[in-house]
Structure 1
Amino acid sequence: MDTASHLLLGVTLGGLAMALSDPAIGDQSTVMYGLFAAAIAGSNAPDFDSAIRIRGHEAYLLHHRGFSHSLPMLAGWPVLLTPLIAYLFHAWDYMLLLFLWTMAGVVLHVFLDFFNAYGVQCFRPISRKWFHGDAIPIFDPVIFGFHLAGLLLWLFGVMAAQVVFPLLFALTFLFIGYRIVLHRLMLHVVRRRYGVDGHSFLIPKWLPHEWGYVHETDQTYIAGSIRGTHLREETIFHKGERNDVVQAVMGSDGVRSFLAFAHRVHISCQKIQNGYKVELRDVRFRHGEKLPFGMDITLDDHLQVTGNTFGWKKKLWEPPFS
């Protein structure tokens, strides 16, 4: 999910830690604050890898949501963070409790990232494959709204922590389950339209009854949208010619990293002054007939790669936002 959502859910997870803690701990305010901090830190720790941006977009693509979200780091982040939290809040006697709530935050973060379209390498080192459940958008206004409303109800004294925070997380997991069921139903709608040949996948939108979809054939990507059970085919992207120019870029490290992340791309090639330009676009992130997320590679007339750029080809405020 997005940073704001991880931060908000970290705060409400901290509220849950307070609500479920032994009442005796309530007399030790620093320990209670430590539990709160542990949940927030754990909920945001996997995204500390965003610092890799300083090494460029290619490094960011290769490493973001990679090892920092992996199986070893489910315990690794708590091991790193718990002593610091215990020191800051003078809570050495509660190390195990701090460790468990930090881990709960990390697990919640990875769980939420798993179910959006961007995906996560959560099973490293067993597998370096990107997994994405395609059930919730990166920013889900319903989940965000739940937790913001619940937090405000607690802050203004309308509901007790012991009531509001368990209720919040119960509703959150029920809603995610609902979206997972909807995902299965909508995917069935697409497959019923196009048959079993090819591969179909969905792109979650902000509202639960609205989805994007892509159906892959041997030569094309058919893209459209679903509203309720009504499917509308909107555009077709040809996969692109695999000529000598395109083949020349496939061995570069940047392209290998991009293809490992994107899986399904639209490829175009054009002659430019003193060489060629190859454009690779991720078909998951579509707006109308545009594919704004991808990678551009330039080559000279001898088919040697001379440069590449990676990222969004759109304004920050323009869709898509997932």
Structure 2
Amino acid sequence: MDTGTHIVMGLALAGIATLDPVVTESTAATTSVMIGTIIGSQIPDIDTVLKLKSNAVYIRNHRGITHSIPAVLLWPIALTAVIYPFFPETNVLHLWIWTFIAVFLHVFVDIFNAYGTQALRPFSSKWVALGVINTFDPYIFGIHIVGLLIWALGANPGYTFISIYAILFIYYILRFVAQRKVMKEVKTMIPDATEIIIAPTMKFKQWRIAVMNKHQFFVGRAIDSKVCILDQFNRVPIPETPVLEAAKKDKNLSAFLSFSPVYRWEIDEYDDYYEVRFIDLRYRSNDYYPFVAVVQLNHQLDILTSYTGWIFSEEKLRKKLEIIPG
């Protein structure tokens, strides 16, 4: 989920924690647990700082080890060790419990996004991505804001958010049902599909679709369970040419290939250099595919420049690459 949603979830959990009599027995205990749930709901995303180094490092590592089983166990211990000395009269066990729940909840809800997490590490490096909830879901965020307002007006925060989470449980079930209907329709339209990726959007009834069979890629969208195929591409195996083999050694393209399961590739030759482009087919937006990896090499196959990430116009891509074709 996005940072804002994780924050309101941390506050909601602090509200639920008020049902624990040990937490409400003193101001210190209440304050320490609130700090623990708010920071705990954010701490797995500390790997976001990797963006400062490069997009390639961020793509390879975001929601990786910081969302793993060892991390879920260690984050609460570390946070409790930091918070407890400031509130020595609080119950350390209950501080740890609520901080642990906050960390666990963060990783758990991220599993439902299309991006997913490597939550099964170290037992498996597979990305767990159920693809039923958008990274930012306005309904989930909105109902949390409503709950916080009700709390501010004097209602019991524990019972308020227990009720809200019961509603959200039903909401998640409805999302799974909706996704299953879209999946059924896609299988009817493309019965020989070998892989189907259905990704949510911020709109409840709309889904992005990327499908592959042995010979083609299909990109589309669904509104309710009505599927519309927008683009089709032939699947062309990546040839083992010197240009492409050299390009695949680039860190940006390597990171892209480690992350993207459905993509097509292009190669262009200009007067002074080659340009290799890989395009992720999962994120079609306004007739454009914004998630790409681009590598430019000279005729001696030395890498001149490269980029991977989200780009919504060719002009911005050229600025990122810092080379304008002549």
**TM-score, length-normalised on structure 1?**
0.91
Q: How does 1:39-50 map to 2 (within 5 A)?
A: 39-50=37-48
Q: Of the candidates 17, 41, 60, which is equivalent to residue 58 of structure 2?
A: 60
Q: Is the counterpart of residue 120 in structure 1 residue 117 in structure 2? A: yes
User: Partner of 1:319 in structure 2?
Assistant: none
User: Partner of 1:203 in structure 2?
Assistant: 199
Q: Of the candidates 171, 174, 177, which is equivalent to residue 178 of structure 1?
A: 174
Q: For residue 17 of structure 1, what is the amino acid of its counterpart? A: A
Deviations 1:268-304 (A, max 9, x none): 1111232211111221111133111121111121333
Superposed structure 1 runs of 4+ greater than 6 Å apart: none
Q: Is the counterpart of residue 150 in structure 1 residue 142 in structure 2? A: no
Q: Which moved more, 1:231-240 or 1:71-80?
A: 231-240
Q: How does 1:162-241 map to 2 (within 5 A)?
A: 162-240=158-236
Q: For residue 20 of structure 2, what is the amino acid of its counterpart? A: S
Q: Which moved more, 1:173-182 or 1:129-138?
A: 173-182
Q: Of the candidates 269, 287, 290, which is equivalent to residue 288 of structure 2?
A: 290
User: How far did 1:134 drift?
Assistant: 0.7
Q: Quickly say closer, same or farther: Cα 1:257–1:129, change in 2 above 3 A.
A: farther
User: How far did 1:192 drift?
Assistant: 1.3
User: How far did 1:77 drift?
Assistant: 0.5
* Contact 1:117/1:203 (<8 A) preserved: yes
**2-side partners of 1:99 and 1:60: how far apart?**
29
* Contact 2:113/2:133 (<8 A) preserved: yes
* Contact 2:41/2:105 (<8 A) preserved: yes
RMSD: 1.8
User: How far did 1:238 drift?
Assistant: 4.1
Gaps of 5+ in 2: 314-326
* Contact 1:12/1:165 (<8 A) preserved: yes
User: Partner of 2:72 in structure 1?
Assistant: 74
Q: Quickly say closer, same or farther: Cα 1:197–1:307, change in 2 above 3 A.
A: same
**2-side partners of 1:178 and 1:90: how far apart?**
44
**1-side partners of 2:16 and 2:205: how far apart?**
30
Q: Quickly say closer, same or farther: Cα 1:14–1:238, change in 2 above 3 A.
A: farther
User: Partner of 2:20 in structure 1?
Assistant: 21
User: Partner of 2:98 in structure 1?
Assistant: 101
Seq. identity, % = 29
Deviations 1:121-176 (A, max 9, x none): 1111122222211110000011111111011011112x322320111122222212
Deviations 1:19-73 (A, max 9, x none): x211x54241111111111111111010011112221111111111110011101
Gaps of 5+ in 1: 316-322
**TM-score, length-normalised on structure 2?**
0.90
Q: For residue 256 of structure 1, what is the amino acid of its counterpart? A: S
Q: Quickly say closer, same or farther: Cα 1:60–1:116, change in 2 above 3 A.
A: same
Q: How does 1:225-304 map to 2 (within 5 A)?
A: 225-240=221-236, 242-243=238-239, 244=241, 245-304=243-302
Q: For residue 143 of structure 1, what is the amino acid of its counterpart? A: I
Q: Quickly say closer, same or farther: Cα 1:237–1:17, change in 2 above 3 A.
A: farther
* Contact 2:17/2:158 (<8 A) preserved: no
Q: For residue 173 of structure 1, what is the amino acid of its counterpart? A: F
Q: For residue 82 of structure 1, what is the amino acid of its counterpart? A: T
User: How far did 1:257 drift?
Assistant: 2.3
**1-side partners of 2:54 and 2:249: how far apart?**
19
**2-side partners of 1:283 and 1:160: how far apart?**
46
The count of aligned residue pairs is 311
